[in-house]
C-alpha cells in the first residue's frame, strides 16, 4: 500500500523539485541512501565469506519477529531486530557445537522461523498491511521514528566496521592468518553474524524479507566485475548501491510500481549491462593479434 501522491506528472518541468519536497519521499530517499551504504558494504564481507544463504535465511526468519511485535502490540521493527539477533547467535552456536553443515542449520532455522511467522500471522484475523510491508517492503511508508532508528543503528554498525575493518577483512580472507595475527576469530565471527542480522532487518523496511538479500549481493557482485583492489571494490560497491537505490525509488514512484521490486530489478539490470560490457571488452582485448593477422591475410587487389 503506497501513500497518496500529489506530485505533478513527470512531464512538467518542476516535477522533480516538487517531488523532493514531499515528506514521505524525503524519508524514503534518506532511508534508501543510509541502508544502501550499510548493506552494500556489509555485502563485501558476505560474499568473501560465502554467507549469502545465511543472510537470506535470517531475513526470512525475521518475519516471525515482526509478527510477535504485532501480536504483542510492540514495535514490529524492534521485535524483529531482537528475534533475528538471537537467531544469528543460535546459528553461530549450532555451527560450533553441531556436526551438521552450516547450510543445514540455516535451512532448518530459516524454515522454522518462516513457519512460526505464518502461524502467528494467522492468530490475528483480518488484513495486515504492516505484515505485507515486511514481506515485500514499502519504503514510501517509512515513518519518522523508523528513519531515526535506521539512521542510528546504521551509524553504529558502520562505526563498528570502520574500527574493525582490518580484522574483519583478514578474517574473511584467511581465518588461520587472522589467528596468527592475534585476532579472536570466534568473537568477531559472532559479532559479524549479529551485526549482519541487525542490518538485514533494517533493510526489510525497504525491500521486504523476500528481496532484502539482493542489496547485499548485487552491488558487490557488480563491482567485482571490474574492480582491481579492495579499496576500489568498496567504493564502487557503495556507489552502485546508492545509484540503484535512487534510481529504483524514483522509477517506482513515476511508474507506480512496487518500490522494493523495482530497486532489485534496477540493480540486476545494472549488473547485466556491466557484465556484458566487461565480457565484450575482455573478448576484444584477448585477440588483438588475431584481428591484425586477419587484416594482413586479406588478398591485395
144 within some domain: yes
Intervals of the chain under pLDDT 50: 1-4, 6-10, 12-13, 291, 300-301
155 within some domain: yes
Any idea what the CATH number is for the domain that residue 43 is in? 1.10.3470.10
12 within some domain: no
Judge contact between 150 and 139, C-beta under 8 A: no
DSSP, collapsed to helix, strand or coil, labels residue 44 as helix
Nearest Cα to Cα of residue 261 among 202, 215, 221: 215
Distances (CA, A) of 202 to 62, 96, 105, 195: 11, 27, 23, 11
Judge contact between 37 and 154, C-beta under 8 A: yes
Distance, in Å, from the CA atom of 204 to the CA atom of 216, rounded to the nearest integer, reads 12
5 within some domain: no
301 within some domain: no
| pLDDT given for residue 276 in this prediction | 92
Please name the residues in contact with 84: beta carbons below 8 A apart, sequence gap of 6 or more.
Answer: 58, 61, 62, 65, 197, 198, 200, 201
13 within some domain: no
Residue for cell digits 545509484? 243
39 within some domain: yes
- Residues spanned by the domain of 235: 22-294
Nearest Cα to Cα of residue 40 among 173, 174, 227, 178: 227
Question: How many CB atoms are located within 10 Å of the residue 14 CB?
Answer: 10
Locate all alpha helices (DSSP H) within the chain, ordered by sequence: 15-19, 23-48, 52-71, 76-97, 102-122, 129-136, 144-163, 165-173, 175-180, 185-211, 213-224, 230-255, 259-286, 288-297
| pLDDT given for residue 1 in this prediction | 43
10 within some domain: no
| pLDDT given for residue 296 in this prediction | 52
Q: 237-258 burial string, b = 16+ CB within 10 Å, else e?
A: bbebbbebbbbbbbebbeeeeb
- The number of folded domains in the chain is 1
| pLDDT given for residue 301 in this prediction | 47
| pLDDT given for residue 116 in this prediction | 87
Distance, in Å, from the CA atom of 87 to the CA atom of 228, rounded to the nearest integer, reads 36
- DSSP code string of 177-208: HHHHTT--HHHHHHHHHHHHHHHHHHHHHHHH
Amino acid at each position: 500500500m503506497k501513500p497518496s501522491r500529489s506530485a505533478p506528472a513527470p512531464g512538467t518541468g518542476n516535477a522533480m523539485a516538487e517531488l523532493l519536497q514531499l515528506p514521505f519521499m524525503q524519508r524514503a530517499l534518506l532511508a534508501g541512501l543510509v541502508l544502501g551504504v550499510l548493506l552494500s558494504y556489509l555485502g563485501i564481507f558476505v560474499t568473501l565469506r560465502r554467507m549469502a544463504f545465511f543472510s537470506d535465511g535470517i531475513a526470512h526468519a525475521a518475519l516471525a519477529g515482526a509478527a510477535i511485535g504485532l501480536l504483542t502490540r510492540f514495535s514490529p521493527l524492534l521485535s524483529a531486530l531482537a528475534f533475528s539477533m538471537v537467531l544469528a547467535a543460535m546459528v553461530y552456536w549450532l555451527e560450533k557445537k553441531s556436526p551438521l553443515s552450516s547450510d543445514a542449520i540455516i535451512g532448518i532455522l530459516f524454515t522454522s522461523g518462516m513457519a512460526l511467522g505464518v502461524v502467528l500471522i494467522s492468530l490475528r484475523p483480518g488484513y495486515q498491511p504492516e505484515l505485507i510491508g515486511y514481506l515485500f517492503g514499502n519504503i514510501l511508508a517509512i515513518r519518522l521514528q523508523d528513519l531515526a532508528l535506521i539512521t542510528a543503528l546504521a551509524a553504529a554498525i558502520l562505526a563498528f566496521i570502520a574500527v574493525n575493518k582490518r580484522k574483519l577483512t583478514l578474517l574473511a580472507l584467511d581465518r588461520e592468518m587472522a589467528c596468527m595475527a592475534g585476532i579472536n576469530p570466534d568473537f568477531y565471527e559472532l559479532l559479524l553474524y549479529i551485526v549482519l542480522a541487525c542490518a538485514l532487518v533494517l533493510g526489510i523496511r525497504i525491500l521486504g524479507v523476500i528481496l532484502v538479500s539482493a542489496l547485499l549481493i548485487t552491488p558487490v557482485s557488480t563491482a567485482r566485475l571490474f574492480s582491481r583492489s579492495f579499496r576500489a571494490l568498496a567504493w564502487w560497491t557503495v556507489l552502485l548501491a546508492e545509484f540503484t537505490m535512487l534510481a529504483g525509488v524514483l522509477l517506482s514512484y513515476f511508474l507506480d510500481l512496487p518500490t522494493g521490486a523495482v530497486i532489485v530489478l534496477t540493480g540486476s539490470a545494472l549488473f547485466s549491462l556491466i557484465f556484458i560490457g566487461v565480457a565484450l571488452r575482455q573478448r576484444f582485448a584477448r585477440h588483438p593479434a588475431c584481428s591484425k593477422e586477419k587484416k594482413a591475410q586479406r588478398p591485395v587487389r
